[in-house]
Amino acid sequence: MTTALAQIRVPYCIDPNWLPYEAIEDSQHIGLSADYISYLNETTPYQFELIETKNWQQSVEYLKQGRCSLLPMLNQTNERDAFLDFTQVYFSSPNFLVSDTEQPFMQSFESIGERTLGVTAGYRITEYIANNYPQINTVAYESELDGLMAVENGEVDLFVGSVHSVNNHIQTLGLTELKIAGWGGPDDDLRMGVAIGNQALLNSIDNALANMDRQQHFEIYNKWNNVKVIDSTNYKLMWQLGIGALVLFLLVLVRYFSIKRYNTVLTTKNHQLSDLQKQLLKSNANLQKISQKDGLTQLYNRHYFNQLISNDDFKDNNQSLCLIFLDLDWFKAINDAHGHVVGDEVLREFAQVLKLCCQNQEIVCRWGGEEFVIVKQPAKLKDAEKLCLRIQNHLKNHIFKHGKALTCSFGVAQLRTEETILSCLDRADQLLYQAKHEGRNRIAISA
């Protein structure tokens, strides 16, 4: 029976230049999505085969033409709904604006003004800007790397790209003249897209992803988030030193002062290299700080939560804590009725309600979409329940951007002895599902 299952082959295409998410190197699929595909090869009755393409636009066209049946890592959009069915979100990350060091920091797309913005052709963020900010002057590039190089070369003022791929290019290419200039619109909520008409394949992938525990997701993330810094200027410096040594050897026979002048130039270049290294370290530190916050709500994001629970000091000092998983009820109806701009404003207001209701020692994170997680420590279940009731009561009296009050549902779990925090979070997630299944605007609790 296993042999028969392995014969079901599925051709798939990827974005060939989007590390660390996915890429093609020496005809091999690498990156985050490659590890997920390997997992699906082991856990589903399908064998996935890569179809090579030159760029993202060609990958999308191949799928429309039937030459491949799956795109393993992309955002869902209205346009793509016409030819794709989507799995649930399995990876999220924010988008950033990138500029040279002369540009000021910008809060959002509203701050761009007359500046020229580079985008990647065919990406969801490009469609989002066209629909919501048609006044922005954009220039489309084939890949995020091309867009970053356009900023480096002064062709455009800014570029918008996903945090992990931007960070990868800045580090590996030593683009020290670039900096993070602000948040870049909605997060990438990445899913797998299956060509319409392949419901069995879609169901099999969704089931396999649902059975992955959080630790497996976290291990894949850590594997591809640890980008090594490659100093691409070393070859140039070696060439300069080689020529310099030859010139030094010849000129030492002529006069002493030429040697002294060369030594002065060499010392200056060493200082410049040291300054560049310091700037790169500072840029990486700033990027790490920014990547911990959700761009829309300014709450902590899932990346920060994962870092927090993996910290040994946090584990050792927090044996008594509760996790609260919550989300807004019927939020999709707000987006459908009023549009995503109003929906985003509602999420910002809801984040302010959470901040108002929570105390300093309570950590509030946006998990994704309309889902949020609160870490209450130290705490018992009755303390967590009181916090949920406080949020519920505040929502009764709060009128949101679209002119109505809203409710939310809660799943509350207390950390058990010898239980991992990820396991506790999974129980809270299941309780949230129970609260929504029982009618919403409810608090589901488990010791």
* Structure confidence at residue 262 as a pLDDT band (50, 70, 90): low
Of 139-143, 269-273, 357-361, give the lowest mean pLDDT range.
269-273
d(CA 423, CA 27): 38
pLDDT of residue 54: 95
CA 380 to chain centre: 33
* Structure confidence at residue 247 as a pLDDT band (50, 70, 90): low
CATH class held by domain 300-446: alpha beta
Between 93 and 239, name the one with better pLDDT.
Answer: 93
* Structure confidence at residue 229 as a pLDDT band (50, 70, 90): very low
Contacts of 342 (CB under 8 A, 6+ apart): 334, 335, 401, 402
Of 74-78, 169-173, 397-401, give the lowest mean pLDDT range.
169-173
Domain boundaries, the chain: 2-90+191-225, 95-186, 234-286, 300-446
The one-letter amino acid code at 93 reads S
Q: What percent of the chain is modeled with pLDDT above 70? A: 85
Q: Which CATH number fits domain 95-186: 3.40.50.880, 3.30.540.10, 2.60.40.420, 3.40.190.10?
A: 3.40.190.10
Are 323 and 412 in contact by the 8 Å Cβ rule? The answer is yes
pLDDT of residue 263: 65
d(CA 140, CA 431): 44
Q: What is the pTM of this model?
A: 0.50
CATH number listed for the domain at residues 2-90+191-225: 3.40.190.10
* Structure confidence at residue 3 as a pLDDT band (50, 70, 90): very low
| 144-152 vs 163-173: helix crossing angle, rounded to 10 | 60
pLDDT of residue 197: 93
2-90+191-225 and 300-446 agree in CATH topology: no
| 32-43 vs 199-210: helix crossing angle, rounded to 10 | 100
Of 108-122, 123-137, 194-208, 302-316, give the lowest mean pLDDT range.
302-316
214-226: average pLDDT: 84
145-150: average pLDDT: 93
Of 30-44, 317-331, 403-417, give the lowest mean pLDDT range.
317-331
Q: Mark 389-421 as b/e (b = at least 16 C-beta within 10 Å).
A: eebbeebeeeebbbeeebebbbbbbbbeeeeeb
The one-letter amino acid code at 196 reads I
Number of Cβ within 10 Å of residue 193's Cβ equals 25
* Structure confidence at residue 235 as a pLDDT band (50, 70, 90): very low
Round the average pLDDT of the chain to a whole number and report it: 86
275-295: average pLDDT: 72
Phi, psi of 135 (to 5 degrees): -80, -15
Digit-coded pLDDT (tens) for 351-393: 999 999 998 889 999 998 899 999 998 888 999 999 999 999 9
